[in-house]
């Protein structure tokens, strides 16, 4: 009887230990799937002004967290800041610039990035902005003449590029490409033909 009770106790401890290890492994796996920006602790300046995403909260839920993922300053367009915002059911990119306004967009979390679309990009007020998935190490846009223009990625995977055309990015960008470590094209988002 004593032997059976010890075996059951050991078995219970083994099951609890295995369960805890599985939970830790699942959490680690889920964490590794998060975008780079959300894998680091929040810093001063990461909080997006709530008014900028207020219209999207009705559809995608409350703000869970946000990160400032890119900052650029130019004599042509002034200063711009890009935030990546995680809502309960979606992700948003929000750009602030010298006009004092905000622009961007949101998508359901499952559609924000995918294996075929590993760069999320947009444009506004003369800037190209976006975020790259964790496997993307280089981003470039294709201009209307078919030439590639590299875009500098931040450590959070974000980017802000100043379009130098008089009309900003309008009719300049034909596609935005993302490349992995081996230089292979892993994302191609066509903007215009």
DSSP string computed for 6-58: HHHHHHHHHHHHHHHHHHHHHHHHHHHTS-HHHHSPP-TT-PPPHHHHHHHHH
For the stretch 134-172, pLDDT in tens is: 999 999 999 999 999 999 999 999 999 988 887 778 788
Residue 118 in this model has a pLDDT that exceeds 60: yes
CA geometry: angle 52, 70, 28, nearest 5 deg: 90
102 and 165 both lie in a single domain: yes
Whole-number pLDDT of residue 27: 31
Q: What is the residue-averaged pLDDT of the chain? A: 82
The residue ranking higher by pLDDT, 17 or 166, is 166
8 and 42 both lie in a single domain: no
112 and 166 both lie in a single domain: yes
Whole-number pLDDT of residue 6: 45
Whole-number pLDDT of residue 44: 93
Rg (CA), the chain: 22
- Measure Cα distances from 74 to 4, 71, 78, 87, 94 in Å: 75, 10, 5, 30, 19
49 and 21 both lie in a single domain: no
For the stretch 46-104, pLDDT in tens is: 999 998 998 899 999 999 999 999 998 876 677 899 999 999 999 999 999 877 778 88
Q: What is the rounded average pLDDT of the residues 25-45? A: 70
Question: For the chain, what percent of residues have pLDDT higher than 70?
Answer: 81
> Which range, 4-18, 29-43, 105-119, is most confident?
105-119
The residue ranking higher by pLDDT, 33 or 171, is 171
The total domain count for the chain is 2
80 and 19 both lie in a single domain: no
45 and 113 both lie in a single domain: yes
**What are the tokens at 73?**
């300053």
25 and 71 both lie in a single domain: no
Domain of 5 in residue numbering reads as 1-33
């Amino acid at each position: 009887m004593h032997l059976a009770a010890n075996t059951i106790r050991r078995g219970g401890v083994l099951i609890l230990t295995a369960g805890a290890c599985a939970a830790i492994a699942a959490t680690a796996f889920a964490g590794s799937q998060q975008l780079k920006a959300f894998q680091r602790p929040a810093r001063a300046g990461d909080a997006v002004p709530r008014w900028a995403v207020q219209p999207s909260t009705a559809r995608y839920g409350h703000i869970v967290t946000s990160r400032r993922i890119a900052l650029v300053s130019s004599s042509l367009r002034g200063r711009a800041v890009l935030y990546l915002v995680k809502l309960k059911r979606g992700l948003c990119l929000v750009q602030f610039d010298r006009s004092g306004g905000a622009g961007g967009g949101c998508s359901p979390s499952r559609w924000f990035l995918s294996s075929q679309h590993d760069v999320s990009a947009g444009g506004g007020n003369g800037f190209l902005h976006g975020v790259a998935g964790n496997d993307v190490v280089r981003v470039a846009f294709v201009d209307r003449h078919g030439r590639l223009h590299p875009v500098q990625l931040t450590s959070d995977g974000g980017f802000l590029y100043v379009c130098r055309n008089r009309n900003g990015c309008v009719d300049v960008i034909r596609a935005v490409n993302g490349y992995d470590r081996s230089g292979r094209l892993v994302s191609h988002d066509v903007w215009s033909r």
